[in-house]
Structure 1
Amino acid sequence: MTLITRAVFAFASLLLLVLALGLVIVGLTEAVGPVLSGGDAAADAILNILGYLIVAIAVFDVAKYLFEEEVRRDAEKRSAAEARRSLTKFLSTILIALFLEGLVLVFKTARENVEHMLYPVALIGVSVLVLVGLGVFQRLSATVEEKVGDDDEAEAAEEEGKPAPGPRARNRRVSAPQ
């Protein structure tokens, strides 16, 4: 069953990569004419290309995440720290895409119809909420890691046949002089 699951995720990752590439190609082909003709249409076409590229990067990152986490991954179990880092990396890319898309929409809306500025600002506001949520997740998961981190590392070391790390081997912190 694991082989079938990995094959499905590999296929989905590949399909997402192809679709991301398709977004880039569509964005470029739609913009060639207006950019070459110049004027206001060129600026709008460039903003459209940016929008396509931002979405393509986000889709590409989802494909990469699926491939790395579901296809290449050998062990089913993972430590809390590893899961936190993986999710943080994934969400950070999505957040960057959301902020960039919001910024592109602000410029586009400012050029076309300022009365609709609420929508891009709302997208940026939601992006900020997701960022705050990620920060809360980071803080809470770091607290949990401190409490159960030794157990996770000991279990992982046991599975690999290595001796368990001591309590000081994990997360050595240097305190600042006061």
Structure 2
Amino acid sequence: MNKAKNISDFVGRFVYGLISLSLGLISLTMMGVALWDIWLSLHERTLLIAALLNAIGLIVIGMAVFDVSKYLLEEEVFSSSAKKTPAKQREALSKFLVIIAIAVSLESLVFLFDAGTKDITKLIYPTFLLISAILMVVGLGVYQRLTRDEAK
């Protein structure tokens, strides 16, 4: 039984390592594409503002994906599953949700600026995205408040 657990643990870490590596490469590619688009926009004298807004969106998403990749690597590959106390699991969940909330907030701001410069009637969609980011942070605060006594 112990040997099967060790094999399962190794396979799990290996798969999470591959996922983390894949996400890291995808995020770096997204950031590279964003910088390449800015470079092309500068040299072809096309709309620089549009390229910059698109680049911000790609870089923000790339940053969020990279943070998720780093989180998976730290929590699932390098961290021992036997050492995961409820307090550590609570901390890991909070860290993950903060990463997502930041990414959603930044992306909603990019969409707000983009919609504000192009078509003001489409401001409702990024506004709802920003409200969802705010609700995510509020929900995380409620979760931390409700589980505060358990963590001690």
Common fold: TM-score over 0.5:
yes
User: Structure 2: any 5+ residue segments left out of the alignment?
Assistant: 1-7
Number of residue equivalences: 145
**Aligned partners of 1:55, 1:14: CA distance in 2, in Å?**
16
Aligned-residue CA RMSD (Å):
1.5
Matched, 1:2 2:9: yes
Which residue identity lines up with residue 132 of structure 2 in the other structure? Answer: V
1:154-177: per-residue Cα shift (whole Å, max 9, x none)? xxxxxxxxxxxxxxxxxxxxxxxx
**Aligned partners of 1:131, 1:35: CA distance in 2, in Å?**
38
Residue of structure 1 in register with 2:34 after alignment: 27
1:34 Cα offset (Å): 1.8
Contact 1:27 1:49 in 2 (8 A): yes
Which residue identity lines up with residue 138 of structure 2 in the other structure? Answer: V
**Aligned partners of 1:108, 1:30: CA distance in 2, in Å?**
17
Contact 2:87 2:150 in 1 (8 A): no
Q: How does 1:15-164 map to 2 (within 5 A)?
A: 15-36=22-43, 41-145=47-151, 149=152
User: Structure 1: any 5+ residue segments left out of the alignment?
Assistant: 150-178
**Aligned partners of 2:135, 2:45: CA distance in 1, in Å?**
38
Q: Which has the larger radius of gyration?
A: 1
**Aligned partners of 1:119, 1:79: CA distance in 2, in Å?**
40
Q: How does 1:162-173 map to 2 (within 5 A)?
A: none
TM-score by length of 2: 0.89
TM-score by length of 1: 0.76
**Aligned partners of 2:24, 2:32: CA distance in 1, in Å?**
12
Which residue identity lines up with residue 23 of structure 2 in the other structure? Answer: L
1:38 Cα offset (Å): 5.2
1:81-131: per-residue Cα shift (whole Å, max 9, x none)? 211222212211211111111111111001110000000000000111111
1:27 Cα offset (Å): 1.3
Contact 1:6 1:71 in 2 (8 A): yes
Q: What SS does structure 2 have at the residue aligned with 1:29?
A: helix
Which residue identity lines up with residue 83 of structure 1 in the other structure? Answer: Q
Greater relative contact order structure (CA < 8 Å, 6+ sep): 2
Identity of aligned residues (%): 35
